[in-house]
Structure 1
Amino acid sequence: MTDTTTPAPERVSGNAVTVSLGTEHFTEANEVVREAFELADTVEIERAFAQRYLGCGMPAGKALKIHGVPGNDMACYMDGGSIEVFGNAQDQIGNTMNDGLIVVHGRCGDAAGYGMRGGQIFVRDGCGWRVGIHMKQFEQKCPAIIVGGDAGSFLGEYMAGGVIVLLGEPGAYLATGMHGGVIYLKHELADADVPSGLVQEPLDADDRATLRTLLGRYNELFVDELEAPVDTTGAGFFRLRPASSRPYASMYAN
C-alpha cells in the first residue's frame, strides 16, 4: 500500500531532527530535509526508500544519518559535513564531491565518487562498477575511497588523482585509463593482470602511513560490525600507479 503521508520535520532533541520519508517523491523529500536543517545541524532520516539527491551540496557543519536505502546521487556536490547510511546505498554517491565524509554500513552501487575532488568515502562491504571514475586531486585536496569488500569492473577508471583502498578482489578492467593517483590492493595481481601503462609495487613508508590512517579510521567506523579489526600495517598490500606522469603525451603535439 502506498504511503501518502507527507513527511514533516519533528524535533527529537536540542540539535537533532528526525524525518520519516516513506515513499515520498524525492523532490518533496529533499525539501523536507532542507527544512529540517533549518532547525538543527543533525538530521536523521527514517524509512528512506530510494529518494535521490539526499545531502546534495551539503555544507560543512551538517550531519545526515540515513536509515533505509538512499537513491542515486546521494551527497552529489557535497561540500563538507557527514552522511552515514545504515544500510546499502545506490549509484553515484559522492558524485563530484568536494569535501566531507560518507560512511556506508553496507555496500554501494556503481560510480561512487564519480569526479570526486575531496573528502572521504568509507564502504563497509563491496561496491559496483566504475567506482572512483575520474577521481582527481588538487594541492591539499586528496579524495579517498575505502572499500571493505570486492569491487565491480572498471574500478579507478580514468583516475587522475586521489586514493582508493580495496580490501577485497577487483573486478575486470581494473584502472582502465588511470593516469594519476594510487590504488592500494590487498591482493597482489599476477604480472599478466597488471593493466597496460601501470606498475604494481611494494609499499614504501609513505604508503604505510597512508594506509595506517585510512584503515584505522575504517576500523573505528565499523568497529561493532567487523569479525576482527583490519590490519593497519599495510601487510599484504601492493600499490598500483601509472608508470608515467604523462601517459598520453604521445597523443598530443609538442
Structure 2
Amino acid sequence: MQNKRDERTLEAGQIYYKQFNEEIRNLVKDGVTQFTIKNCHGQRYIGIAMEGDLVFDIYGVPGQDLAAFMRGPYIRVHNNAQDGVGNTMDGGRIVIEGLAGDVLGYAMRGGEIFVHGDVGYRVGIHMKAYLEHQPKIVIGGKAGDFLGEYMAGGIILLLGMFSGKPDAPVAGRSLGTGMHGGVIYVRGKVHQEQLGSGLHAQPVDSEDLKVIKELTNEYAKELKLDSKEILSENFVKIRPFSHRPYGNLYVPC
C-alpha cells in the first residue's frame, strides 16, 4: 500500500516571498510532500531548487522564477504565471492552466512545462539537452518574439490553438534565431519572415509524428483537452542547419 502523503495548505496572501519560501523549505524538511497554496499574489521563487517527489497546487498567480533550478517536483498553477518559469530547470513537470510570461524555460535542461494559453518573449532561450535529459515545452496558445533563441537541445511544441490573440501569428519575429540544437514543432504553418536567419520550416516525418503524438497525449491528459483535435492538423518542424550557426562570422587569429 502506498504511503499517504503528508499534506499542507498554505495561505500566501500578503506574506513576503522570502518568509513564505522559508516556511515551505522548513515544512519539506519536516516531511511534508504535498502543498496546496491559496491566494498566491506574486510571491517569487516558489519551488526554487526543490528536489524529489513533491507536489505543489498553486491557486492565484505565482511570481517570477517559479521552479527555478527545480529537479523532480510536480507543480500545477490553476491560473497564470509570471516571467522566468522553469529557469535552468533540471527535472519535474510544471502545468500552467492559463498564460505564462517571458523567458519561460530559460536554459532548461530537463523536465516538462505545459502551458494552456499564450506565452511571452524569448521562451526556451538557451534550452539544452544533457545526456538522457530532454527538456520539453508545450505551448497551447501563441508565442512572442525570439521563441527558441539560441536553443541547443530539447523540444518545443507550439500549437497556437488556445490563444487570446486570434489575429496574431502563431509566433512573433525571429523564431529560432541562433538555434543550434533541438527541434521546434509548430501546428499548422509558419511564415518564412517569422523565422530567424538561415532557418526554414519543413514537413515532419514519421519519427517526428511519434514524438509529437506522445507529447500531445501527455499534454492533453494534464489539461483535459482532446488530443485527437490537436493532432488533426499538420505540423512542421524547425531545425538548425548547423551546430555553429555563426561560425563563419569569426576569423581565427
TM-score (norm 2): 0.89
Letter of the structure 2 residue corresponding to residue 49 of structure 1:
H
2:218 aligned with 1:217, yes or no?
yes
Taking the aligned partners of 1:74 and 1:188, their CA distance within structure 2 comes to 31
The DSSP-based 3-state class of the residue aligned with 1:45 is strand
Taking the aligned partners of 1:29 and 1:196, their CA distance within structure 2 comes to 44
Aligned to 1:128: 120
Q: By how many angstroms is 1:247 displaced?
A: 1.9
Q: By how many angstroms is 1:31 displaced?
A: 1.1
Q: By how many angstroms is 1:159 displaced?
A: 0.8
Percent identity between matched residues is 41
- Judge which range, 67-76 or 202-211, deviates more: 202-211
Aligned to 2:176: 175
Q: Which runs of 5+ in 2 are unaligned?
A: 161-169
Match for residue 13 of structure 2 among 13, 18, 22 = 22
Letter of the structure 2 residue corresponding to residue 145 of structure 1:
I
Letter of the structure 2 residue corresponding to residue 188 of structure 1:
K
Letter of the structure 2 residue corresponding to residue 253 of structure 1:
P
Taking the aligned partners of 1:240 and 1:222, their CA distance within structure 2 comes to 25
Letter of the structure 2 residue corresponding to residue 184 of structure 1:
Y
2:84 aligned with 1:85, yes or no?
no
The DSSP-based 3-state class of the residue aligned with 1:198 is coil
2:245 aligned with 1:253, yes or no?
no
The DSSP-based 3-state class of the residue aligned with 2:113 is strand
Q: CA, structure 1 residues 240+163, in 2 after alignment: closer, same or farther (shift >3 Å)? A: same
2:189 aligned with 1:188, yes or no?
yes
Taking the aligned partners of 1:108 and 1:64, their CA distance within structure 2 comes to 17
Q: By how many angstroms is 1:173 displaced?
A: 1.8
Written as runs of structure 1 = structure 2, the 5 A alignment for 1:1-254 is: 15-37=6-28, 38-168=30-160, 169-223=170-224, 226=225, 228-231=226-229, 233=231, 235-250=233-248, 251=250, 253=252
Q: CA, structure 1 residues 252+184, in 2 after alignment: closer, same or farther (shift >3 Å)? A: farther
Contact 1:15 1:39 in 2 (8 A): yes
| Cα RMSD for the two superposed structures | 1.7
Q: By how many angstroms is 1:230 displaced?
A: 5.0
Q: By how many angstroms is 1:171 displaced?
A: 1.2
Contact 1:212 1:234 in 2 (8 A): no
Q: CA, structure 1 residues 191+90, in 2 after alignment: closer, same or farther (shift >3 Å)? A: closer
Q: By how many angstroms is 1:72 displaced?
A: 0.1
The DSSP-based 3-state class of the residue aligned with 1:33 is helix
> Deviation string for 1:111-162 (max 9, x for gaps)?
0000101110000111011110110112211101000001111111111111
Q: By how many angstroms is 1:252 displaced?
A: 5.4
The DSSP-based 3-state class of the residue aligned with 2:239 is strand
> Deviation string for 1:181-232 (max 9, x for gaps)?
1000113123444432223111112211111111101110111xx4x44546
Letter of the structure 1 residue corresponding to residue 184 of structure 2:
I
The DSSP-based 3-state class of the residue aligned with 1:35 is helix
- Judge which range, 35-44 or 192-201, deviates more: 192-201
Letter of the structure 2 residue corresponding to residue 247 of structure 1:
P
The DSSP-based 3-state class of the residue aligned with 2:214 is helix
Letter of the structure 2 residue corresponding to residue 113 of structure 1:
G
Q: CA, structure 1 residues 108+150, in 2 after alignment: closer, same or farther (shift >3 Å)? A: same
The DSSP-based 3-state class of the residue aligned with 1:71 is coil
